[in-house]
Structure 1
Amino acid sequence: MRGAILIGIVVMLAVTLVPTIRSLIQQQHGTSETRASIAQQRETVAALERQAALWKDPSYVEVQARERLKFVRVGDRAYSVIDPSQTDRPDDAAAAPVVSAPMANDAAPWYGKVWQSIQIADRPTAGLPQKK
């Protein structure tokens, strides 16, 4: 009889404590995820603060304007390479092909010309010589 009462008490304690322990473990897991998220956000904020500090330096702003926007000072000369892959071609292939798209019908009304131009623009190979 004592054994049955003892087993009953153990079962009651297990039924009472298991959900509490499960919720405690879930809360600890959630807390660790939140701490990891906060640490990542702090790193992001620190990186953004470093970047903001760079933009406060006038020399950095000048370098960025020269590189990104192709700005030059008065009297300087700027050179831009348009297509570096064209320098590797032979002389006869270096000349770019002349591309002319077909014109819209001049006799058509304005809305017909607009529609024709849309149809022509929809064909990316319009005016290019056909490859065999």
Structure 2
Amino acid sequence: MPADRFSTATRLKALGEQAAARVYRAKRRPRRNRLTGRAALLALVMCSLVVALAYPMRQYISQRSDIADQRRKAQNAAAALNRLRDEKARWQDPAYVRQQARRHLHFVMPDETGYIVQDGSGARAAPKGAEAADRPWYDKLWNAVDDADATDPIDAAVGR
């Protein structure tokens, strides 16, 4: 008889039964809570850090947004300043001033004859309160004087 009492097949069968018993016991055993003291402390520290940093981060983001808005406003102001400088430079040119006086104020040079062409659209026959935007300034001025003369406060007080 050999020194070994059990055959290989018997040993394998016994090992399989032991493994099956261990699996069965592991399934029956109540699970241990996985949240240990260290994990709970870590979670508490992380939550407190999130709470402590939430307000400063919100302020930081808000301030960055304000800085971007101010930079955009500064760029717009610089662009407006450049436009105004260009316009000022144009107004320093006497030819431009003459051109604008002719266009907007209907000025004419000496020895020239000024004409205003009416196209018959009825712009001058507008009702009393409505003024056409394309009428010259002096025409608007004389209409205002005529309207003021038509409603003289002294005549109204006397009853004429």
Aligned CA-pair RMSD: 1.9
Q: Give the paired residue count.
A: 92
| 2-structure distance, mates of 1:109, 1:79 | 39
Identical aligned pairs, as a percentage?
30
Q: Deviations over 1:2-58 (max 9, x none)?
A: 111111110111111111111111011111111111111111111111100000001
Give the alignment of 1:1-132 within 5 angstroms: 1-85=37-121, 110-113=157-160
Give the 3 Å change call, closer, same or farther, for CA 109–54 of structure 1 in structure 2.
closer
Question: Any unmatched runs of 5+ in structure 1?
Answer: 87-107, 114-132
State the Cα distance separating 1:82 from its structure 2 match: 3.6
State the Cα distance separating 1:66 from its structure 2 match: 1.1
Taking structure 1 as the reference length, what is the TM-score of the superposition?
0.64
Instruction: Answer 1 or 2: higher relative contact order, Cα 8 Å, separation at least 6.
Output: 1
Amino acid at match of 1:21: M
| 1-structure distance, mates of 2:156, 2:104 | 45
Amino acid at match of 2:74: I
| 1-structure distance, mates of 2:99, 2:120 | 23
Which secondary structure state, in structure 2, belongs to the residue aligned with residue 19 of structure 1?
helix
| 1-structure distance, mates of 2:82, 2:107 | 30
Amino acid at match of 2:81: V
